[in-house]
């Protein structure tokens, strides 16, 4: 069993997929805390509905990235009923990069999901950028976050073919469906202790 802290910024469908996987018993984890970069993120409601503690960053804190990340690191290190902190920080639609205070407190313990096949189409609009470019294959990447935005060690990727009649909306729908399967699966690999990063920054799965 691993303890997770989840970072969100928006609708939180990936958070929901993780909550559902835990409830079904296919992910051996607990979510100890959800922190949102935005006070009105719908994902906060999803967390509250299942009694997960939440924190929404105020605008003043959000506008100071280093202070925000220090606060997040401290809250994640003290989360849980016994204040023993979380094992992993899970970025689930968290639309900013994490900085030194978080990365130093959780080395190789911050994971992110990105809706494209990294290193292609980094940034906040991975699905639309890939669609506009006209790629025939795109997909989803789960990786460890490090100090290079969307460039951390890749844990898992799943590809899908872009169909001739795909619209941006239909592609988004299929990407999200893959995300909702893949993220809980990768978190379960972490729960089983099967994921390691070598000194060249490559991920190995036992």
Active site residues: 114
Alpha-carbon gap, residue 3 to 1, rounded angstroms: 7
User: Which residues are CB-neighbours of 134 under 8 A, at least 6 positions away?
Assistant: none
| Helix residue spans in 50-199 (DSSP H) | 59-62, 65-77, 100-105, 126-133, 168-191
Instruction: Compute the least distance from the CB of residue 120 to ligand GAR, in Å.
Output: 13
For residues 115 and 142, is the Cβ–Cβ distance under 8 A?
Answer: no
For ligand GAR, give the closer residue by CB, 86 or 118: 118
93 binds ligand GAR (CB under 6 A): yes
DSSP-derived letter for residue 86 is: -
Nearer CB in complex with ligand GAR: 14/146: 14
Q: Does 114 engage in binding with ligand GAR (CB under 6 A)?
A: yes
37 binds ligand GAR (CB under 6 A): no
Instruction: Tell me how far apart the alpha carbons of residues 73 and 95 are, in angstroms, rounded to a whole number.
Output: 17
* CB closer to ligand GAR out of 3 and 114: 114
Which range touches ligand GAR (CB under 6 A), out of 12-20, 44-52, 75-83, 153-161? 12-20
Least Å from the CB of residue 41 to ligand GAR: 8
Residue 13 in contact with ligand GAR, rule: CB under 6 A: yes
CA distance 187 to 182: 9
10 binds ligand GAR (CB under 6 A): yes
**Pattern 161-180, ligand GAR, x by CB under 6 A:** ---------------x--x-
CB of 117 to ligand GAR, least distance (A): 12
Confirm or reject binding of residue 124 to ligand GAR (CB under 6 A): yes
Alpha carbon distance 23, 107 (integer Å): 28
d(CA 36, CA 5) in angstroms, rounded, equals 11
Q: Helix or strand or coil: residue 34?
A: strand
Distance CA 177, CA 183 (A): 10
Specify the residue, 114 or 174, whose C-beta has the smaller distance to ligand GAR.
114
- Residues found near ligand GAR in the complex (CB under 6 A): 8, 10-14, 43, 92-93, 95, 113-115, 124, 126, 176, 179
């Amino acid at each position: 069993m691993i303890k997770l802290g989840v970072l969100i910024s928006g609708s939180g469908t990936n958070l929901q997929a993780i909550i559902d996987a835990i409830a079904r018993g296919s992910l051996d984890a607990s979510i100890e805390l959800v922190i949102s970069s935005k006070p009105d993120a719908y994902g906060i409601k999803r967390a509250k509905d299942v009694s997960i503690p939440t924190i929404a960053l105020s605008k003043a804190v959000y506008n100071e990235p280093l202070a925000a990340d220090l606060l997040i690191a401290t809250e994640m290190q003290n989360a849980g009923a016994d204040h023993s902190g979380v094992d992993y920080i899970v970025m689930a639609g968290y639309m900013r990069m994490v900085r030194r205070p978080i990365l130093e407190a959780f080395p190789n313990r911050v994971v992110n999901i990105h809706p494209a096949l990294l290193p292609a189409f980094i940034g906040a609009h991975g699905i639309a950028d890939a669609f506009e470019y006209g790629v025939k294959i795109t997909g989803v990447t789960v990786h460890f976050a490090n100090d290079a935005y969307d460039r951390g060690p890749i844990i898992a990727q799943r590809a899908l073919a872009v169909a001739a009649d795909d619209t941006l909306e239909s592609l988004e729908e299929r990407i999200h469906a893959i995300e909702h399967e893949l993220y809980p699966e990768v978190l379960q690999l972490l729960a089983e202790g099967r994921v390691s990063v070598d000194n060249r920054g490559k991920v190995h799965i036992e």
